[in-house]
Structure 1
Amino acid sequence: MENMVTQVRTSVEDRIGTVLLDGPDRMNAISVETTDQLLLALEELGNSPDVGVIVITGSGRAFSAGGDVKVMHDMTSMTYENYLHIMQPTQRLPGLIRSLPRVVIAQLNGVAAGAGLAIAAACDMRIAGASARFTTAFGKVGFSGDCGISWTLTRLVGTAKAREMMLLGEMLGAEEALKLGLINKLVADDALEADTRAIAARIANGPVVAYQYMKANLLAAETEPLQAVVNLEAMHQTRAFMTDDHREAIAAFAEKRAPCFAGR
Structure 2
Amino acid sequence: MSEILIDDDAGVRIITLNRPDRLNALTGAIMAPLADACADAARDASVGCVIVTGAGRGFCAGGDLKEGGADKAVVSPNSDSGSRTEQGFARLRAFMETSRLLHEMPKPTIAMVNGPVAGAGIGIAGACDLRFAAKSASFLAAFDRIGAGGDFGSTWFWTKILGTGVARELFLLGEKLSGEEAFAKGIYTRLFDDETLREETIKAARRLADGPRMGYRYMKANLNNAEDWAFEAALDAEALNMTLSTSATALIWREKKKQAGGSND
Report the TM-score when normalising by structure 2.
0.87
1:153 aligns with 2:166: no
Secondary structure of the 2:151 match is: coil
Q: What is residue 240 of structure 1 aligned with on the other side?
A: 245
Among candidates 2, 16, 19, match of residue 20 of structure 1 = 16
CA drift at 1:72: 3.0
CA drift at 1:25: 1.0
- Cα offsets for 1:102-144 (capped at 9, x unmatched): 1100000000100111100110000000000000111111211
- Supply the distance in 1 between the matched residues of 2:48 and 2:200 (Cα, whole angstroms): 17
Q: Which amino acid aligns with 2:49?
A: V
- Supply the distance in 2 between the matched residues of 1:247 and 1:56 (Cα, whole angstroms): 28
Q: Which amino acid aligns with 2:58?
A: A
- Supply the distance in 2 between the matched residues of 1:80 and 1:42 (Cα, whole angstroms): 26
Number of residues paired by the alignment?
Answer: 247
- Supply the distance in 2 between the matched residues of 1:143 and 1:245 (Cα, whole angstroms): 49
- Supply the distance in 2 between the matched residues of 1:144 and 1:247 (Cα, whole angstroms): 46
1:41 aligns with 2:31: no
- Supply the distance in 2 between the matched residues of 1:124 and 1:23 (Cα, whole angstroms): 24
Q: What is residue 54 of structure 2 aligned with on the other side?
A: 58
- Supply the distance in 2 between the matched residues of 1:229 and 1:157 (Cα, whole angstroms): 21
Q: CA RMSD in A?
A: 2.1
Conserved 8 A contact 1:35-1:89? no
Among candidates 99, 109, 117, match of residue 104 of structure 2 = 99
- Supply the distance in 2 between the matched residues of 1:203 and 1:186 (Cα, whole angstroms): 18
Secondary structure of the 1:105 match is: strand
More displaced stretch, 39-48 vs 97-106: 39-48
1:118 aligns with 2:133: no
Among candidates 205, 212, 216, match of residue 210 of structure 2 = 205
Q: What is residue 10 of structure 1 aligned with on the other side?
A: 6
- Supply the distance in 1 between the matched residues of 2:41 and 2:252 (Cα, whole angstroms): 27
Conserved 8 A contact 1:52-1:203? yes
Structure 1, gaps ≥5 residues long:
253-264
Secondary structure of the 2:13 match is: strand
Conserved 8 A contact 1:90-1:146? no
Seen in structure 2, the aligned counterparts of structure 1 residues 187 and 246 have a Cα distance that, compared at 3 Å, is farther
Structure 2, gaps ≥5 residues long:
77-83, 258-265
- Supply the distance in 1 between the matched residues of 2:85 and 2:252 (Cα, whole angstroms): 55
Conserved 8 A contact 1:102-1:211? yes
- Supply the distance in 1 between the matched residues of 2:164 and 2:95 (Cα, whole angstroms): 23
Give aligned-pair identity as a percent: 35
Q: What is residue 169 of structure 1 aligned with on the other side?
A: 174
Conserved 8 A contact 1:51-1:204? yes
Among candidates 184, 189, 195, match of residue 184 of structure 1 = 189
Secondary structure of the 1:66 match is: coil
Report the TM-score when normalising by structure 1.
0.88
More displaced stretch, 88-97 vs 187-196: 88-97
Secondary structure of the 1:154 match is: helix
- Supply the distance in 1 between the matched residues of 2:251 and 2:231 (Cα, whole angstroms): 26
